[in-house]
Structure 1
């Protein structure tokens, strides 16, 4: 961990659940954390919950990862304030239970899942990777995925809609990123973590 002391890590979906825990643990392990989420009040609560001596290392910032302009603005702010992004933990994700993929008038939940689970990853990884590449920094991209990115379970509580297909896409994206990062001549690593369910 010594190599990562005082490095800048961006954590998406950091207002609650897994993302909130990851952001707090990274602060405690010497990182400067930029915590992104849509719910500013939750980010501020997480900030206040940290020990006082660590609060100056945690930067809550409102950012909806489905909004490309907000993502660009956020990473530009990080570039200006800290010099760039060293690590990205892409944790933001969403699912909808109980709405069938073949149901009538289900476009909104399908779009919400795709925009968050796929396009949110695309926007954030693109900005983080280019920050690393432009500075010739051997950074790290971590993508939190789900085991439903490998198989579609039969669940007792209802259909999972577009959630498993979106996670299959993320599985393919990770391998695509691995190849692209190497082909670009960088040593930026990409790692995927599979969970029983997404944050």
Structure 2
């Protein structure tokens, strides 16, 4: 991780769960971390230095479903921190929405965050890296096992489709960077059930599921991010389930 000490990492959806855990772990590794979230106050709570964390945290309010919000965040980073060296596309939502009856707004929210927001953040980060001559940057998508399987329930089909799109977009990005001769690396992490707040507002699935089903902790996913970054530049960890 020494190569990324004092470098700038942007983590989306940093206010809780997996995003908060990734933020904390990158701070421990000495990175300057920009935590982007709608609930910025929850990120600011973590702005106080951890006892074992040499990195520095900047909390920025932003909504990845809004392009203007994303562009404003990247402008702030460019103006104040020079640019993004590591992007962790963590922000994501899961909504239960039947394909024959769900409101269009449900589908739009899923796709705006999980696919379009992720793609805009990726575009801005890669363009910034290329413009600054950063050839050791890293783009990491937090995907899901849903990206590798058919939906187990009909009302999760749109969510599963969004995660399949995430992995397809990652492979397209990898091929683009290879064609350009760039050494910017890309990768995805596809965890299964993770014990977070993801079901806190769900009437269909409650947090009781964590007591009966095998699940990961958010810190496990954060450790996978560090593992990917730690590998020698010649190593491409495309997907880390």
TM-score of the superposed pair, with normalisation by structure 1: 0.91
The RMSD of aligned alpha carbons is 1.9
Matches within 5 A, 1:22-171: 22-48=22-48, 50-51=49-50, 54=53, 57-97=56-96, 99-103=97-101, 105-137=102-134, 138-155=136-153, 159-171=155-167
Structure 1 residues 93-151: Cα deviation after superposition (integer angstroms, max 9, x where no partner): 00112x31211x52111100000000011110011111111111120001110111111
Note the residue ranges of structure 2 that are not aligned, 5 or more in a row: 199-241
- How far off its partner does 1:52 sit? 6.6
What is the aligned residue count?
194
Judge conservation of contact 2:33–2:55 (CA < 8 Å) in 1.
no
Tell me, yes or no, if structure 1 residue 186 matches structure 2 residue 185: no
Deviation at 1:82, TM superposition (A): 1.2
Do the aligned residues in 1 keep the contact of 2:37 with 2:43 (CA within 8 Å)? yes
1:176 aligns with 2:172: yes
| Structure 1 gap ranges (5+) | none
Which secondary structure does the structure 2 equivalent of 1:23 belong to?
A: helix
In the alignment, is the contact (CA less than 8 A) between 1:136 and 1:186 conserved in 2? no
| Deviating 4+ runs (over 4 angstroms) | 52-56
